[in-house]
Chain A
Amino acid sequence: MSPAPTGRALHDCRDAFAETLMELAETNPALIAVCNDSVGSSKLGAFQQRWPERLVNVGIAEQNLVGMAAGLANGGMLPFVCAAASFLTARALEQIKTDVAYANTNVKLCGISSGMAYGELGPTHHSVEDFAWTRVIANLRVVAPADPEETRQAVRAAAEHPGPVFLRLSRMGVPDVVPAGYAFAIGRALRLRDGHDLTLIANGTLVHRALDAAELLARDGIEARVVNMATVRPLDEAEILAATRETGAIVTAEEHQVHGGLGSAIAEVVVGHDPVPMKLLGVPGIFAPTGSASWLLDRFGMSAEGIAASARELLARKRPAATR
């Protein structure tokens, strides 16, 4: 079990998402929200009330949802497509590839309730393949913010970026993790804690668990670096290679299948430049059993204790600096 987050308020990042969208919409009349009967689950109720005509609800039809968004962008609008991540990515993947990424239309794809946020609703509603599907598509930025402040800044950065972006958002409560004065940029990782024994790299809902794991490791005298890698594509290769060079071992943790996601992306960089031992934590290649997201993450070795245990195991395999 994760340590009780005493004194830490947990936030649903959808609130920061929806508030920021409205702030942007106040000053940019081209900004519209496009959704698939997902007004409530995307927290767009206030947006709809404020600008009923700028909330385009296409009903339960994801191929048309994304295709229309590409056309809306062609026609001069700035569409933020808001839909459950599982249906947005799986159902409309060819539209994302062809109409949005290949055609380079200025569409922002916001996958809400990603990962296993729908918990007990089961694997049909889990979105634990979306990093893999989206990050192999050329010309598509893939971003998974970790807390409300990073969500706010990521939404603004997506609006400013002149091209396709996939924002992967959750509904699972998370504490604040980014420091005051933090400036988010697409493609730039954030080092949240320094250390030289190994590096824990996570994003989204796993960042605070990685920080807690580092705290546990510190009690044993192990100094773990913790990196929040919100952008899965393009990756911050410099930060990854700093981790290999300066810490010699990397544990990754993500609310995604262990195949093809953040850990795999990092491993592609590591193996090509500076191979060091790695441990990739994620959903272990199965359809998850019934349970809440938090329970499932714990079960898959991603409680703070679980991440710390993987770190200790990895340290045993780490080569001395002189031989690297």
Chain B
Amino acid sequence: MNSSRPSAQHLAGIARRIRRRDLDMIYEAGAGHLGSELSCTDLLVALYFGELQVDPDEPSAPTRDRFVLSKGHAAGVLYVTLAEAGFIDPAELATFMQPGSRLNGHPDRKLVPGVETNTGPLGHGLPVAVGMAKAAKLRGESWRTWVLTGDGELQEGSNWEAAMAAAHFGLDNLALVIDHNRFQQGAAVADTNDLAPLADKWRAFGWHLHELDGHDFDAIFAGFDVARSTRGRPTCLIAHTNKGEGISFTRDRVAWHHRVPTAEEYAQARAELTEVPS
């Protein structure tokens, strides 16, 4: 994939478009997790437009790469990304969280093409991803598994069960990307149940650890390359991100975990996301 990766500038344009549509969608639906979605938007863009071997025309191809969004509350930005990538009709985004829509507040693999597993309760994605990577090993297939978790959700013990297993099974076809935006629903992670020293924890659990700037496409791809070239153990990429990234007044503000903007706030946010940075 390396040689055919789009430029950072091109991806930044896609990311801006996705943030804009995500903002619109949450404003229209009157619900969603804006802050959590803006923090992982660039990571999703890098995955879907520069890394994952997936095909919207054959979303269940047996040897596709698997991507698991463990922080299922960021479903909105996943749907916008899947629409941008051709998995679902962009017009359908208008139905987000509306009665009868398949675009639930948390993703359902049975209904939405491109969704690999149902998430919502936290701490579910990593164990499932470990199973996927183990399946590829058992089958002798070369597809890879990518899983994106939040940081707060690492307080769930199931992650650490899975972390041990992934290292024990030597799953070098598995990469975990942690959207380390430092905030959970109610407060800073550090003030709730601190994860620090996070990098040391993953190293101690037998993972190859790499840290990167989760809003810098070149840095993200460098991290993906680290994951691809690591042998004998899984890779954990700690992506340093900002909750609410892309809108000045939501950035690093815990209140925006799942707040819906007022009309005034919406107008300002829309204007910020429309300006093309020089």
Q: Which A residues form the contact surface with B (CB < 8 A)?
A: 32, 53-54, 56, 58-59, 61, 63-64, 66-77, 79, 94-95, 98-99, 102-105
A94 to B133, CA, bound (A): 22
Given the known interface contacts A53-B138, A75-B66, the answer about A64 and B117 at a Cβ–Cβ threshold of 8 Å is no
Determine the residue in chain A with the shortest Cβ distance to B119. A98
Interface centre among B124, B131, B134 (most CB of A within 10 A): B131
Given the known interface contacts A71-B128, A104-B110, the answer about A94 and B135 at a Cβ–Cβ threshold of 8 Å is no
Residues of A within 8 A of B135 (CB): 71-77
Say which residue of B121, B129, B134, B165 sits within 8 Å of A94 (CB atoms): B121
CB under 8 Å from chain A, chain B span 109-153 = 109-110, 116-121, 123-124, 126-136, 138-139, 145
A69 to B132, CA, bound (A): 9
Interface centre among A64, A71, A94, A99 (most CB of B within 10 A): A71
B62 interface residue (CB < 8 Å to A): yes
- A61-B164, A94-B124, A103-B110 known; 19 new pairs, CB 8 Å cut-off, are A54-B138, A59-B164, A61-B161, A63-B157, A64-B165, A67-B127, A67-B128, A68-B127, A68-B131, A71-B129, A74-B116, A74-B131, A74-B135, A75-B133, A79-B131, A95-B158, A98-B119, A102-B118, A103-B109
- What is the distance, in angstroms, from A182's C-beta to the closest C-beta of chain B? 34
CB of B118 within 8 A of CB of A103, answer yes
- What is the distance, in angstroms, from A232's C-beta to the closest C-beta of chain B? 24
CB under 8 Å from chain A, chain B span 137-184 = 138-139, 145, 157-158, 161-162, 164-165, 168
A56 to B130, CA, bound (A): 12
CB of B158 within 8 A of CB of A99, answer no
Residues of B within 8 A of A70 (CB): 117, 127-128, 131
- What is the distance, in angstroms, from A72's C-beta to the closest C-beta of chain B? 4
CB under 8 Å from chain A, chain B span 81-118 = 108-110, 116-118
CB of B131 within 8 A of CB of A72, answer yes
Residues of B within 8 A of A104 (CB): 109-110
Residues of B within 8 A of A63 (CB): 123, 127, 157-158, 161
- What is the distance, in angstroms, from A33's C-beta to the closest C-beta of chain B? 12
Determine the residue in chain B with the shortest Cβ distance to A67. B127
CB of B139 within 8 A of CB of A75, answer yes
CB of A74 within 8 A of CB of B62, answer no
Given the known interface contacts A69-B131, A95-B127, the answer about A103 and B117 at a Cβ–Cβ threshold of 8 Å is yes
A53 to B110, CA, bound (A): 30
A-B contact pairs, 30 of them (CB 8 A): A53-B138, A59-B164, A59-B165, A59-B168, A63-B123, A63-B157, A63-B158, A63-B161, A64-B130, A64-B161, A66-B127, A67-B124, A67-B128, A67-B131, A67-B158, A68-B127, A68-B162, A70-B127, A70-B131, A71-B117, A71-B132, A71-B133, A72-B138, A74-B131, A74-B132, A76-B62, A98-B119, A98-B121, A99-B117, A104-B109
- What is the distance, in angstroms, from B272's C-beta to the closest C-beta of chain A? 36
CB of B165 within 8 A of CB of A75, answer no
CB of A74 within 8 A of CB of B128, answer yes
Say which residue of A54, A71, A79, A102 sits within 8 Å of B130 (CB atoms): A71
Residues of A within 8 A of B165 (CB): 58-59, 61, 64, 68
Residues of A within 8 A of B126 (CB): 67
- What is the distance, in angstroms, from A282's C-beta to the closest C-beta of chain B? 30
Residues of A within 8 A of B164 (CB): 59, 61, 64
Interface centre among B116, B118, B162 (most CB of A within 10 A): B118
A54 to B119, CA, bound (A): 27
A124 to B87, CA, bound (A): 47
CB of B66 within 8 A of CB of A74, answer yes
Determine the residue in chain A with the shortest Cβ distance to B168. A59
Residues of B within 8 A of A72 (CB): 131-132, 134-135, 138
Residues of B within 8 A of A75 (CB): 66, 131-136, 138-139
CB of A99 within 8 A of CB of B124, answer yes
Interface centre among B62, B108, B117, B128 (most CB of A within 10 A): B128
A90 to B62, CA, bound (A): 32
Contact string against A for B residues 51-79, beta-carbon threshold 8 Å, 1 for contact and 0 otherwise: 00000000000100010000000000000
A118 to B225, CA, bound (A): 51
Residues of A within 8 A of B158 (CB): 63-64, 67, 95
- What is the distance, in angstroms, from A312's C-beta to the closest C-beta of chain B? 48
Given the known interface contacts A64-B127, A95-B127, A99-B128, the answer about A74 and B161 at a Cβ–Cβ threshold of 8 Å is no
A95 to B130, CA, bound (A): 14
Residues of A within 8 A of B66 (CB): 71, 74-75
Determine the residue in chain B with the shortest Cβ distance to A66. B127
A66 to B121, CA, bound (A): 15
